[in-house]
Structure 1
Amino acid sequence: MEAAERRGISLKRLGGWEPVTVTEYEYDGDGRLVRNWSQPESEWDQREQAWVAALAAYRAELCPCGCGQRYADVTSDEETGPQFVASRVVCRARLALLEAQKAAETQDVVGGARLWHVQMQKG
C-alpha cells in the first residue's frame, strides 16, 4: 500500500488496472450529433478509499517515536500493560559498508566523494 501511496495512485492502478472511459452521444431528430461526453471510470472507488482510510487509521494508532508499536500499548500502565523486550540484530550489509568506509577514510582524502554500493555475494 505504501508504494502506491507514495506514487499518489490507487492499489488497483499499481496492480495494472486502467480506467475504462465511457462516451455517450446525443443526436437531434435529424440524426446529427449535438452533444457528446465522456466519463472515465473512477480510480478512487469505495474500496480504494477504504484501503487509504484503513492505512491512515493504522498509522494514527502508532507511537510517534518510531518504535512501530501501538501508542495505547506503549503508554499503558507499567504494572498491568503489556511488557516489552528489546533485542537487536546486525545488518551485515550495513556493517560491511561501514567497515569499508572506515578503512577507506584512513587511506583516502577523497573518501567523502566516493559512491558506495553493497551487494550480497553469491554462494
Structure 2
Amino acid sequence: MSYRRLSGWEPAEFTDYEYDEDGRLIRSVTTREAEWDEQERAWMLALAEHESRQCPLCGRPLSVCTDPASEGRWTTTPPTRCYATTSVMKARKPYDEKSDEPRALLFSATAG
C-alpha cells in the first residue's frame, strides 16, 4: 500500500463511453489513476536503502555499531522483564512436552 493511500488518498477514475449512431452504448473504458507514482516509488526506494544500512539486531546504522573503534564504548542497562511474554512462556510449558510442534502453537496475553 502506498503512503498516499494509507493517508486516505483514493485513485481517480475516468470512464469514456462510446455510442453507436442510434445512441446505444457499445463500449465503456474505465481508467484508474496509478497508485504508485514517481514520488511514491522514490520514497519506497529511499526507505529500502535506509533499512539496508541499519543493523538488524540493534537498529543503529551499521557504520556505527560495526565500527571496530567503537568496541568497548557501549554500555548496557540491566534487562527489563516483559510480563506479557513471561505469562505466555508459563502458559506454553505444559504444551512443550505434549505437542509435536510446540513452537507452532500461538498464544496471546491480555492485561486484565
TM normalised by structure 2 equals 0.65
Question: 2:90 aligned to 76, 83, 99, which one?
Answer: 99
Pair 46,114 (structure 1): closer, same or farther in 2 beyond 3 Å: closer
**Which residue in the other structure is 2:37 paired with?**
45
Counterparts of residues 108-123 of structure 1 (less than 5 Å) = 110=98, 112=102, 116-121=107-112
Matched, 1:86 2:76: yes
Q: Is the 8 Å Cα contact of residues 19 and 41 (structure 1) preserved in structure 2?
A: yes
Greater RCO, 1 or 2 (C-alpha within 8 Å, sep 6+): 2
How many residue pairs are counted as aligned between the two chains?
106
Gaps of 5+ in 1: 1-8
**Which residue in the other structure is 2:54 paired with?**
62
Identity between Structure 1 and Structure 2 (%)? 32
Pair 36,96 (structure 1): closer, same or farther in 2 beyond 3 Å: closer
TM normalised by structure 1 equals 0.60
Query: Using the alignment, how far apart are the partners of 1:86 and 1:47 within structure 2?
Result: 40
Matched, 1:20 2:12: yes
Aligned-pair RMSD on alpha carbons? 3.7
